[in-house]
């Protein structure tokens, strides 16, 4: 941290100032006429639309229904990424051979943006749930694997030596030594994965035909309903923040429970 410490009150005040400046700039831009009003609605118009979407449906559903639909795909994608990525990362962290086999493929694939999978997701899964789940999976998988792998590779050597002298088998080593000592790294990876998965949502829902925030935004864009598009963006931002806050809380709780923070 650089600079003088602020009290909580001062910090909150400055945060509000930042938000106020942002909204002010936004408002002046959209009322100035520099951009067509239709392409940049004011914050007030957007807020009104955001609230109205809770009661009046757009593209077949209200905003909460769209969100629920999105969240289901998102949860499947992220859980699948964690369920495969974390164990695979731990195994790669212990078995050198597996590391040598998987790493080159993985290192190539992970730089392909989730949205680049859209054409294949559409071809392979059509409009079913598989396509969006696959795209969210593509976003969430790398941090799950990388952090589990790093956590396993950087376990303190004395724990591994102690476990080996106690005659611990490979599988038990992974489950009872690598996994628990990698937990902080894995949790950090899951947080990143949760964020990246949620960011991949709009891309994932380009190929959805029923409901979802991304779907709603694509439909609104087609009919130039910019306030609806922006409402979708706000919803995504707010839910993303909420997910992050909840995961931080979970992480802190886990740390306390493990006695890592005195």
Partner 1 sequence: MGSIRFDKVDKVFGPKTGGMKVLEGIDLVIGEKEFVAIVGPSGCGKTTCLRMVAGFEAPSAGSVSVNGREITSPGPDRAVVFQQFALFPWKTVRENIDLGLRNKRLPRSERSDRIAGALKLMNLESHAEAFPHQLSGGMQQRVAIARAYVLDPEVLLMDEPFGALDAQTRVVMQEELVRLARRNPRTVLFITHAVEEAVYLADRVAIMTRRPGRIKEVLDVKPVRLAENWDRLARIEDVMDLESFVHLRTQIWRSLREEKGPHGV
Binding site for partner 1 (CB under 8 A): 158-159, 161-169, 172, 176-177, 180-181, 183, 258-259
Q: Which is nearer to partner 1, 180 or 240 (CB)?
A: 180
Report phi then psi at 58, rounded to 5: -130, 140
Q: How far is the CB of 180 from partner 1 (least distance, A)?
A: 4
Q: Taking the complex as a whole, how short is the minimal distance between the CB of residue 87 and partner 1, in angstroms?
A: 18
Shortest Cβ 163–partner 1 spacing (Å): 7
Give least dist CB 72 to partner 1, A: 33
Quote the least distance from Cβ 125 to partner 1, whole Å: 40
Name the residue nearer to partner 1 (CB basis): 110 or 256. 256
Rounded-to-integer distance, Cα 49 and Cα 59, Å: 14
Q: Minimum distance from CB of 157 to partner 1 (Å)?
A: 9
- Is the Cβ of residue 162 or residue 238 nearer to partner 1 in the bound state? 162
Q: Confirm if 249 and 241 have CB atoms less than 8 A apart.
A: no
The smaller minimum CB distance to partner 1, of residues 36 and 259, is found at 259
Residue 118 and residue 10: Cα distance in Å, rounded? 45
Closer CB to partner 1, residue 162 or residue 209? 162
Three-state secondary structure readout of the chain = CCCCCCCHHHHHHHHHHHHHHHHHHHHHHHHHCCCCCCCCCCHHHHHHHHHHCCCCCECCECHHHHHHHHHHHHHHHHHHHHHHHHHHHHHHHHCHHHHHHHHHHHHHHCCCCHHHHHHHHHHHHCCCCHHHHHHHHHHHHHHHHHHHHHHHHCCCHHHHHHHHHCCCCHHHHHHHHHHHHHHHHHHHHHHHHHHHHHHCHHHHHHHCCCCCHHHHHHHHHHCCCHHHHHHHHHHHHHHHHHHHHHHHHHHHHHHHHHCCCC
Q: Which is nearer to partner 1, 72 or 255 (CB)?
A: 255
CA 94 to chain centre: 27
Tell me how far, at minimum, the Cβ of 186 lies from partner 1, in Å: 13
For partner 1, the closer of residues 105 and 262 by Cβ is 262
């Amino acid at each position: 941290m650089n600079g003088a410490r602020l009290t909580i009150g001062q910090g909150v005040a400055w945060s509000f100032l930042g938000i106020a400046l942002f909204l002010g700039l936004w408002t002046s831009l959209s009322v100035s006429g520099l951009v067509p009003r239709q392409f940049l609605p004011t914050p007030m118009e957007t807020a009104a639309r955001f609230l109205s979407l809770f009661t009046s449906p757009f593209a077949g559903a209200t905003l909460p229904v769209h969100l629920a639909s999105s969240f289901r795909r998102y949860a499947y994608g992220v859980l699948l990424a964690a369920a495969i990525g974390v164990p695979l990362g731990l195994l790669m962290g212990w078995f050198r051979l597996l590391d040598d086999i998987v790493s080159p493929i993985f290192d190539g694939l992970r730089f392909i943006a989730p949205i680049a999978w859209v054409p294949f997701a559409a071809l392979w899964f059509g409009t079913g749930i598989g396509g969006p789940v696959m795209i969210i999976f593509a976003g969430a998988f790398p941090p799950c694997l990388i952090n589990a792998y790093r956590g396993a590779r950087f376990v303190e050597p004395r724990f591994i030596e102690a476990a080996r002298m106690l005659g611990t088998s490979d599988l038990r080593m992974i489950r009872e030594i690598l996994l628990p000592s990698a937990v902080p790294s894995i949790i950090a990876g899951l947080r990143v994965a949760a964020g990246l998965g949620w960011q991949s949502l709009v891309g994932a829902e380009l190929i959805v035909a029923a409901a979802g925030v991304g779907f709603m935004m694509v439909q609104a864009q087609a009919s130039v309903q910019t306030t609806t598009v922006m409402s979708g963006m706000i919803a995504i931002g707010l839910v993303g923040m909420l997910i992050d806050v909840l995961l931080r809380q979970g992480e802190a709780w886990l740390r306390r429970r493990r006695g890592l923070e005195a």
